[in-house]
């Protein structure tokens, strides 16, 4: 190429202006005002070009580093490997490749609702993915074969192309590895615990397999004084589930964790097979190692006993009002038999009882509170049943007004059992010191029902009271001691409730029984600790009686009693301490519920 001067003479240009053939045949994606820079075109697909510029230097094309300005070969035949190698060692490159970083959500504290997003380096680890995959399968009970499903493998590759989905056998090994790790963690926790270990156990039957499994859970206080509950065994128990078979399975579970000398009690559901099993086990473990030589080795599940009391009471009363209860049960069955009927029922219910949102539920004898739930829900929709009986010819046997009246009365009395059972069998169990006033209030309530003008209520109360007196004697003793250890209650609450429950003769006997039990426990713990420790005498309280049966009312009465009887306490409390105690009683007793603590009272 030549340029012409004003005399039209051809003059060759300098070498720097000599045209250079560019092997790009597509339109550029970006331009720059610097004439020495060449465009990055659609043919330059490598990610490395985000860190380099293409530059013309003399007769050649160079790649200039955006960070340190070093020139490297940049022609079409040079490739990009050397450019990638330079990026790894570039001394001035401080920016991270966003495709190698990850947005992490963090919270300043647990109460924050919004995450603070931060960009941080991310490094993929195959072993972390396998560990989390095994945990997912365990948590959600997925089949191990899911790792071989085409859809799951495709989904995993989309999330993280570098993750190699393991085979079924590898996933099984990862799960067992996690099991062994968790087992060792529990074993370490048990070894460090200095106190005794309480166990709860129950049998469970798988619906799909019709096989029986035994679950064994340990309950103990760790060295930081926190209640710990850990499942230590879940094993298949072959049929028949006789007392000998169950005893062997439970014994093997206990010995495999070396808990022979550390047992305090074993809590089971109340049935003849469990009674026989516990008698066998009582002779297996070292006699002197058990609490009070095994007096409290066998404990009955509190929630299960409550359920037995309710079932016995209902069985008696249902014979007297069986037709009405059956009509309500048949009504529930009728209106839950198909989706169309359920929809029709809900449509009418929204118009007549819009404040009610609970769904109809059929009772089941094996489920606690289920009969109460069925009746209480049905009574809230009694107007709906009346309306629908006139609109649907197939609904031929609705409950009568008399049926509703009797069932409503029964539900009023069963409500106290429902609340207490929920407290005992909830996710967070009540601590032992809160158990005692609830059970005592329940006992007083049942006694009050004996004065009901309705014969079916009196019959129900009589049966319930017999069952109550049969099961609660030994349990009340141990829980009574726990109540004494509560500095708010001490011996005063024991005497307060027993004065309402027993006559004058039995009152002194029962109070002395719990006081003696407390002394025996203190002496046993003192001897095992190598100390001689006597039991201090507690100031006795002379309490009156009340016809009220509400637990919260009793707590208020107890607080008022402490205030009124302040002068007769012989200086047990100082004025400021006493005022603080009364304040706690008045403000806090009625709010003591399952959120106050946890305890292994039940087998759930």
Is the per-residue pLDDT at 362 higher than 90?
A: no
Q: Contact, 327 vs 403, CB < 8 A?
A: yes
Q: In a 10 Å sphere around its CB, with 0-12 CB exposed, 13-18 middle and 19+ buried, how is residue 416 labelled? A: middle
Six-digit token pair at 226? 């926190």
CA nearest 438: which of 329, 197, 599, 227? 599
Window from 82-91, 222-231, 282-291, 482-491 with minimum mean pLDDT: 282-291
Question: Looking at residues 519-541, what average pLDDT do you find?
Answer: 61
Give the model's pLDDT for residue 397: 86
Q: Contact, 300 vs 268, CB < 8 A?
A: yes
Residue 404 vs residues 245, 381, 382, 603: alpha-carbon distances, Å:
47, 10, 7, 35
Identify the band that residue 562 occupies on the pLDDT scale cut at 50, 70 and 90. low
Q: Contact, 544 vs 564, CB < 8 A?
A: no
Between CA 165 and CA 147 the distance in angstroms is: 7
What are the b/e assignments for 467-503, b being 16+ CB within 10 Å? Answer: bbeebbeebbbbbbbbbbeeebbbbbbbbbbbbbeee
Give the model's pLDDT for residue 236: 92
Please report the sign of the dihedral spanned by the C-alpha atoms of residue 319, residue 321, residue 324, residue 329. Answer: negative
CA nearest 205: which of 193, 197, 213? 213
More confident residue, 342 or 24: 342
Is the per-residue pLDDT at 593 higher than 60?
A: no
Write the DSSP assignment of 173-229 as a string of letters. Answer: HHHHHHHHHHHHHHHHHHHH--S-EEEEEEEEE-TTT--EEEEEEEEEE-TTS-EEE
Start-end of H helices in 211-353: 243-256, 272-282, 302-335, 339-352
Q: Contact, 341 vs 402, CB < 8 A?
A: no
Among residues of the chain, what percentage have pLDDT more than 90?
A: 24
Which sequence spans correspond to the domains of the chain? 37-94, 126-176, 193-300
Q: Contact, 168 vs 186, CB < 8 A?
A: no
CA nearest 410: which of 305, 320, 335? 320
Between CA 79 and CA 83 the distance in angstroms is: 8
More confident residue, 265 or 427: 265
Question: Looking at residues 525-541, what average pLDDT do you find?
Answer: 52
Q: In a 10 Å sphere around its CB, with 0-12 CB exposed, 13-18 middle and 19+ buried, how is residue 519 labelled? A: middle
Q: In a 10 Å sphere around its CB, with 0-12 CB exposed, 13-18 middle and 19+ buried, how is residue 265 labelled? A: buried
Give the model's pLDDT for residue 109: 56
Six-digit token pair at 522? 């203190």
Q: Contact, 522 vs 516, CB < 8 A?
A: no
Between CA 507 and CA 545 the distance in angstroms is: 12
Instruction: Tell me the Ramachandran region of residue 150: left when phi exceeds 0, alpha when psi lies from -120 to 50, beta otherwise.
Output: alpha
Q: Model confidence over 128-159: pLDDT tens digits?
A: 999 999 999 999 999 999 999 999 999 999 98
Strand 212-221 relative to strand 101-106: parallel, antiparallel, unpaired? unpaired
Architecture label for domain 193-300:
2-Layer Sandwich (3.30)
Give the model's pLDDT for residue 505: 87
Identify the band that residue 347 occupies on the pLDDT scale cut at 50, 70 and 90. very high
Q: Model confidence over 501-512: pLDDT tens digits?
A: 888 888 888 888
Give the model's pLDDT for residue 137: 95
More confident residue, 311 or 82: 82
More confident residue, 371 or 248: 248
Q: Model confidence over 388-410: pLDDT tens digits?
A: 998 888 998 899 998 898 888 88
> Radius of gyration (Cα) for the chain, nearest Å?
38
Residue 402 vs residues 92, 222, 321, 409: alpha-carbon distances, Å:
90, 56, 10, 11
Identify the band that residue 567 occupies on the pLDDT scale cut at 50, 70 and 90. very low
Three-state DSSP string of 524-540 = HHHHHCCCCCCCCCCCC
Is the per-residue pLDDT at 416 higher than 60?
A: yes
Six-digit token pair at 344? 């029709």
Host H or E run for residue 2: strand 2-4
Give the model's pLDDT for residue 182: 92
pTM: 0.62
Angle of helix 302-335 versus helix 339-352 axis, rounded to 10:
100
More confident residue, 334 or 369: 334
Window from 32-46, 167-181, 323-337, 556-570 with minimum mean pLDDT: 556-570
Is the per-residue pLDDT at 598 higher than 50?
A: no
Is the per-residue pLDDT at 247 higher than 60?
A: yes
Q: Contact, 368 vs 303, CB < 8 A?
A: yes
Six-digit token pair at 122? 């991310």
Q: In a 10 Å sphere around its CB, with 0-12 CB exposed, 13-18 middle and 19+ buried, how is residue 218 labelled? A: buried
Q: Model confidence over 14-38: pLDDT tens digits?
A: 333 333 343 443 334 444 457 788 8
Between CA 521 and CA 532 the distance in angstroms is: 12
CA nearest 583: which of 565, 566, 559, 564? 559
CA nearest 352: which of 392, 387, 400? 387
108: helix, strand or coil: coil
Q: Contact, 385 vs 324, CB < 8 A?
A: no
Give the model's pLDDT for residue 411: 86
Question: Looking at residues 462-474, what average pLDDT do you find?
Answer: 80
Size of the chain in residues:
604
Residue 112 vs residues 29, 42, 109, 120, 474: alpha-carbon distances, Å:
45, 46, 6, 21, 48
Q: Contact, 51 vs 67, CB < 8 A?
A: yes
Identify the band that residue 530 occupies on the pLDDT scale cut at 50, 70 and 90. low
Identify the band that residue 473 occupies on the pLDDT scale cut at 50, 70 and 90. low
Between CA 420 and CA 434 the distance in angstroms is: 11
Question: Looking at residues 352-367, what average pLDDT do you find?
Answer: 83
Give the model's pLDDT for residue 245: 93
Give the model's pLDDT for residue 365: 66
Contacts of 65 (CB under 8 A, 6+ apart): 51, 52, 71, 72, 86, 90, 93
Question: How much is the mean pLDDT over the chain?
Answer: 77
Six-digit token pair at 412? 């009023």
């Amino acid at each position: 190429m030549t340029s012409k001067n004003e005399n039209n003479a051809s003059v060759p240009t300098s070498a720097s202006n000599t045209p250079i053939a560019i092997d790009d045949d597509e339109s550029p994606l970006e331009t720059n005002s610097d004439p020495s820079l060449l465009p990055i075109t659609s043919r330059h697909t490598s990610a490395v070009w985000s860190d380099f510029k293409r530059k013309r230097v003399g007769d050649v094309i160079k790649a200039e580093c955006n960070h340190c300005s070093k020139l490297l070969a940049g022609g079409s035949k040079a490739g990009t490997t050397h450019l990638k190698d330079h990026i790894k060692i570039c001394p001035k490159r401080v920016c991270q490749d966003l495709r190698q970083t990850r947005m992490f959500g963090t919270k300043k504290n647990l109460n924050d609702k919004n995450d603070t997003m931060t960009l941080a380096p991310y490094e993929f680890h195959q072993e972390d993915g396998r560990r989390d995959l095994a945990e997912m399968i365990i948590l959600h009970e997925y089949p191990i074969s899911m790792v071989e499903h085409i859809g799951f493998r495709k989904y995993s590759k989309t999330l993280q192309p570098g993750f190699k989905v393991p085979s079924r056998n590898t996933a099984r090994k990862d799960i067992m590895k996690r099991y062994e790790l968790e087992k060792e963690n529990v074993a370490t926790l048990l070894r460090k615990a200095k106190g005794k270990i309480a166990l709860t156990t129950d049998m469970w039957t798988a619906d799909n397999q019709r096989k029986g499994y035994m679950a064994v859970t340990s309950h103990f206080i760790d060295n930081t004084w926190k209640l710990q509950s850990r499942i230590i065994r879940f094993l298949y128990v072959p049929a028949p589930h006789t007392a000998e078979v169950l005893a062997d399975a439970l014994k093997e579970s206990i010995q495999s964790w070396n808990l022979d000398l550390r047992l305090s009690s074993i809590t089971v559901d109340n049935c003849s097979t469990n009674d026989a099993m516990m008698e066998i086990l009582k002779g297996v473990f070292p006699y002197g190692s058990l609490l009070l030589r095994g007096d409290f080795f066998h404990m009955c599940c509190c929630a299960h006993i409550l359920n037995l009391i309710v079932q016995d009471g209902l069985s008696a009363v249902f014979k007297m009002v069986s037709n009405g209860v059956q009509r309500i049960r048949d009504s529930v069955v009728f209106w839950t038999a198909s989706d169309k009927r359920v929809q029709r029922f809900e449509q009418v219910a929204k118009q007549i009882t819009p404040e009610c949102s609970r769904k109809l539920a059929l009772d089941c004898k094996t489920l606690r509170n289920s009969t109460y739930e069925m009746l209480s829900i049905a009574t809230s929709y009694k107007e709906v049943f009346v309306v629908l009986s006139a609109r649907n010819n197939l609904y031929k046997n609705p409950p009568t007004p008399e049926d509703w009246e009797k069932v409503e009365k029964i539900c009023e009395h069963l409500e106290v059992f429902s609340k207490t059972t929920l407290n005992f069998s909830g996710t967070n169990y009540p601590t032992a010191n809160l158990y005692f006033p609830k059970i005592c209030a329940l006992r007083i309530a049942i006694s009050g029902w004996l004065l009901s003008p309705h014969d079916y209520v009196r019959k129900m109360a009589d049966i319930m009271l017999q069952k109550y007196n049969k099961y609660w004697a030994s349990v009340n003793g141990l829980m009574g001691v726990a109540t004494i250890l509560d500095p708010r209650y001490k011996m005063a609450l024991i005497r307060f409730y027993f004065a309402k429950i027993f006559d004058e003769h039995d009152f002194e006997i029962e109070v002395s029984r719990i006081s003696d039990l407390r002394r025996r426990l203190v002496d046993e713990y003192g001897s095992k600790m190598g100390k001689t420790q006597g039991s201090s005498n507690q100031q006795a309280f002379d309490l009156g009686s009340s016809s009220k049966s509400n637990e919260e009312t009793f707590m208020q009465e107890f607080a008022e009693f402490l205030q009124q009887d302040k002068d007769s306490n012989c200086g047990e409390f100082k004025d400021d301490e006493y005022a603080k105690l009364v304040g706690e009683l008045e403000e806090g007793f009625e709010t003591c519920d399952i959120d106050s603590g946890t305890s292994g009272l039940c087998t759930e």
